[in-house]
Amino acid sequence: MMAVVYNNTIKCLDTYKWGVVLQQASYRKLLASAGFAWLFDAMDVGMLSFVITAVTKEWQLSSSQAGLIGSISSLGMAVGAILLGSLADRYSRQSILILSLLMFSIFNGISAFVSSYLAFLVLRFLIGCGLGGELPVASTLVSENAPKAVRGRTVVLLESFWAGGWLIAALISYLLIPKYGWRVALILTSFTALYALFLRSSLKRHAPHSPKAVAKHLSFAERLSLLFNNEHRQATLMLWVVWFMVVFSYYGMFLWLPSVLVLRGYTIVQSFGYVLLMTLAQLPGYFVAAWLIEKWGRKSTLVLFLLGTAVAAIAFGWANSLVILLGSGIALSFFNLGAWGALYAYSPEQYPALVRGTGTGMASGIGRIGGILGPILVGYLLQVKVPITLIFMIFFVAIIIAAGAVYWFGVETKEVN
């Protein structure tokens, strides 16, 4: 009798172990599948900073017109984040993720063939809709399927694919745009639409636990009201402030990095090369944040990386030599992208599954409003000859506000949900 019990116990334990192994294998494959979609998004956003520099020269655009390209993309991202994030609660996360990937890939390819500034703006808006929807939906999907013990770290690792996309974008821009032009670079990024075919089958196999149509019976207005009930109001307002300030500063600084270097006297080829070096620091930033987020918690890690970003922004704005410029630019990439990773891990954990996609999408959408204002503001300030030092002081203040909002109004979510 004891032998039978022992054998059955061993079988149960073996089954449990294999279940854990299969779950771990499944979420890791999901991380890789969603991560490459994230990488392709980053390629487009990273490429845009170089494309803006190239089209400004080719079409003889003013600084304000160039800034509008980045801002219209952010407007599209705001619409996409809110609309597709909400649809991800009403329908399946997987379907909306694939839809967003197809949107930005197809319209990106079309944009390579336009010769009109206005047509380019319209297409950048549509591309932005796809980009804006993919990011919060992917982070929510991965967060829901990762084991609780490593959930935060997994979402930060998902965000680390962004650095890979930026690195590829910087390499393509450095090697191809000066020689073959910006259109070739955009055509290359449009081939990511083919990845949607693989992603569709991969998500079916490796994302079985995502709620499907969990809020189908709720209207958007009802879901929005839940974000502002007594339980979630403080978290919602905190996230909106943080997302707005982080996106405002990120797109204001990073979309203009190549152009700012050109304004400092470096050639386009030199500026592309220097931005490529700065981009390399993004990966260590993500990996350090991924380690700290399970060691210290989400809140402390996010505050630390936001403060590091603020200091690096000041140093970059005041840099008076190439060494300081590169060093502060590397620090800016390290801390800012680490902060992004922590923020993406932190945001979905503020809400229950019923409104998780809506809450994360709304916060991301509010943030994209900051992404609209940032590039326009920089373009205008450069046009009226405002010193770069003062421009980066504005971003310093914005990041400090974000860090303060998390510190005073955020709660630790490491052991929640």
Q: What is the mean pLDDT of residues 287-315?
A: 95
Max CA separation in the chain (angstroms): 88
Q: What is the pLDDT of residue 204?
A: 61
Higher pLDDT, 241 or 9: 241
Q: For residue 171, with 0-12 CB atoms within 10 Å meaning exposed, 13-18 middle and 19 or more buried, which class applies?
A: middle
State the average pLDDT for the chain: 83
In DSSP notation, 117-170 reads HHHHHHHHHHHHHHHHHHHHHHHHHHHHHS-GGGHHHHHHHHHHHHHHHHHHHH
CB atoms within 10 A of CB 17: 10
Q: What is the pLDDT of residue 35?
A: 85
For residue 6, pLDDT beyond 50? no
Q: What is the pLDDT of residue 165?
A: 85
For residue 14, pLDDT beyond 70? no
For residue 49, pLDDT beyond 90? no
Q: What is the pLDDT of residue 62?
A: 87
SS3 annotation, 346-405: HCHHHCCHHHHHHHHHHHHHHHHHHHHHHHHHHHHHHHCCCCHHHHHHHHHHHHHHHHHH
Higher pLDDT, 104 or 300: 300
One-letter amino acid at 244 equals F
Q: Distance of alpha carbon 280 from its chain centroid, rounded? A: 17
For residue 65, pLDDT beyond 60? yes
Q: What is the pLDDT of residues 123-174, one digit of tens each?
A: 999 999 998 888 888 888 888 888 888 888 888 888 888 888 878 887 888 7
For residue 10, pLDDT beyond 60? no
Q: What is the pLDDT of residue 379?
A: 84
Q: Where are the beta strands (DSSP E) in 259-299?
A: none
| Beta carbons of 42 and 283 less than 8 angstroms apart | no
Q: What is the pLDDT of residue 207?
A: 53
pLDDT band at 213 (very low <50, low <70, confident <90, very high): very low
For residue 353, pLDDT beyond 60? yes
Higher pLDDT, 313 or 167: 313
Q: Sketch out the chain's domains with CATH numbers.
A: 41-200+219-409 (1.20.1250.20)
For residue 217, pLDDT beyond 80? no
Q: What is the pLDDT of residues 190-205, one digit of tens each?
A: 887 777 667 666 666 5
* DSSP designation for 59: T
Q: What is the pLDDT of residue 214?
A: 52
Q: Which of 263, 225, 196 is nearest to 36 (CA)?
A: 196
Higher pLDDT, 266 or 362: 362
Q: What is the mean pLDDT of residues 298-306?
A: 97
For residue 244, pLDDT beyond 90? yes
For residue 1, pLDDT beyond 50? no
In DSSP notation, 174-212 reads HHTHHHH-HHHHHHHHHGGGGHHHHHHHHHHHH-TTS-S
